[in-house]
Amino acid sequence: MTKTAWVFPGQGSQAAGMGMDLLDLPEGKARFDQANAILGWSVVEICQSEEDKLSRTLYTQPCLYVVETILADWLKECGHQPDFVAGHSLGEYAALYTAGVFSFDDGLRLIKRRAELMDSASDGMMAALLGFDRDQLAEQLQQTPDAVLANDNNAGQVVISGTPAAVEAIIGSVKAKKAVKLNVSGAFHSPLMATAAAAFQKELDTVPFSTAQVPVLSNVDPTPATDAQVLKDRLNRQMTGTVRWREISLRMPEEGIERVIEVGPGKVLTGIIKRTSPNLILENIGSLADLPPAS
């Protein structure tokens, strides 16, 4: 049997119209209705709205979680099961749900609060660097206390986060093929999110976590874990910690994983993983049409 990991994308993978084919499934429609009752707004309406509205953190995060969990549940209905799961930033919540760590409702309540807190974070800036010198970046980050490595995606793509002055200083001092300032409300995955993380922890403390049914590779610690308290602690640190996706991509072949299925809209993670672990078989499940036949 081929060892398979399911991975779930985060913000940046959303697209207008995503998940609308899932309304053809009775289970999908029921899940959308369930989400509306928790959120107080319609996921279907937001997914069909203008791109700028869907891309607002407040809406993006719950919408992606709902679409990704419906796809994961339907994959299981078709007889497929992962051997490992992982999710990029927001995607870690869909991964934990898929591993049976918490219920759909509890996960969505966490996402709702996370999205509210992150949407209201007004301090800070984030920027993506592509084609850069990693040693030079590490040196500059060491010399710039108000900027950190937020997303270590692969050898040629990272995101830095921090105060606007610090991020601008890094962009100005590190040679890169491309530097792109991200359209986000705050310095996500940095110490500047400490206040939001403390507020989020109160919500997290109310949610019971169960032992994962399959190992989870977490953003802040890419070693496989199933222990409920370990997974909760890792999730608690995620808002201020680095997304260590390059290490997750390296870890998967070490664990004997041969195949990776990206569950959710787009192919962002597929492209990122390919650069780090080119021998993995990479597949995408972004819609009903992509679902493999029942096994």
Q: Which residues are catalytic?
A: 89, 189
* Token couple for 45: 């309406």
- Residue identified by tokens 């990479």 is 282
Contacts of 170 (CB under 8 A, 6+ apart): 127, 137, 140, 141, 144, 147, 160, 162
Let me know: does 263 contact 288? Beta carbons within 8 Å. Answer: no
Rounded CA-CA distance 11/126 in Å is 13
Rounded CA-CA distance 28/20 in Å is 9
Rounded CA-CA distance 118/253 in Å is 33
Let me know: does 7 contact 263? Beta carbons within 8 Å. Answer: yes
